[in-house]
Amino acid sequence: MRLGSLLLWDIRFQRKYGFYFLYAVLTAIYAFILFAVPENWKEKTAAILIFSDPAAMGLFFMGAIILLEKSQHTPCAFAVSPVRETEYIIAKVSSLCAISFIVAAILALIANMNNLHIVLLGTVLSSAVFTLLSVIAATKIASLNQFILWTVPIEVVCFVPAMLHLFKITPTWLRYYPINVCMEMVSGYAPPIIGILGVMTLIAVLLVLSKKSVLKMWESTGGVKL
């Protein structure tokens, strides 16, 4: 019940601050790009667009969402409510994954990508990874400038290997790197089982770390430790 209420609250919050309108505009722009590129470029272009935006949306927007919540003193309310940090995080991840899923489906259909179910599963897993990374970073910062600095190393570790892997510039063993597994799935290719297990393990570890980060943020709300 609490989880459903939190999810609904997040959806309303995102709608109020224009997240859906922004992604409607971006989706239209990306669709135009896909219609414009040559047929033999469409799949890779779609994979890059899906991975770098819908899938990674949580990385860029979660910082803004949590900073807005901090400015409105929302963490103070959560700190004294029965809401658990796990529920808070799952609601955040689920609301952003839903947007990522829809946008990725539209782009994949336009590009006529193979194995749509794998593309969408890869998008959801990527979105979960990036959103959890962003929760960890966002709970530790107090300004947008700080958040941008925090995301630079995350982008280097995540995007550079994934893009190199997409164009087969990386060694074969890096296929098992969790972010590269996500990119492979977003491209429409079925990954090895060990790769999926690696991604799920990474998500589990990030969930534990994000729970600790959220709990610490709530305990320190208002400038004092509760």
Hey, where are the domains in the chain?
2-220
Q: What percent of the chain lies above the pLDDT cut of 90?
A: 46
pLDDT exceeds cutoff 80 at 157: yes
CA-based radius of gyration for the chain: 18
Looking at residue 222, its pLDDT comes to 52
Nearest CA among 77, 189, 68, 62 for reference residue 135: 62
Give the whole-angstrom CA distance, residue 183 versus residue 191: 10
Q: Give tens-digit pLDDT for 176-186.
A: 999 999 999 99
Q: Looking up tokens 């959560």, which residue turns up?
A: 78
Q: What angle do CA 198, 200, 194 make, to 5 degrees?
A: 35
Taking a C-beta distance cutoff of 8 angstroms, is the pair 177, 33 a contact?
no
Give the whole-angstrom CA distance, residue 86 versus residue 182: 24
**How much is the mean pLDDT over the chain?**
87
Residues sharing a CB contact under 8 Å with residue 78, sequence separation 6 or more, in sequence order: 88, 218
Give the whole-angstrom CA distance, residue 48 versus residue 39: 15
Residues sharing a CB contact under 8 Å with residue 27, sequence separation 6 or more, in sequence order: 103, 106, 107
Q: What angle do CA 174, 130, 203 make, to 5 degrees?
A: 70
Looking at residue 55, its pLDDT comes to 65
Of 121-125, 142-146, 164-168, the least confident: 142-146
DSSP category for residue 208? H
Predicted TM-score (pTM) of the model is 0.90
Residues sharing a CB contact under 8 Å with residue 175, sequence separation 6 or more, in sequence order: 165, 181, 184, 191, 192, 195
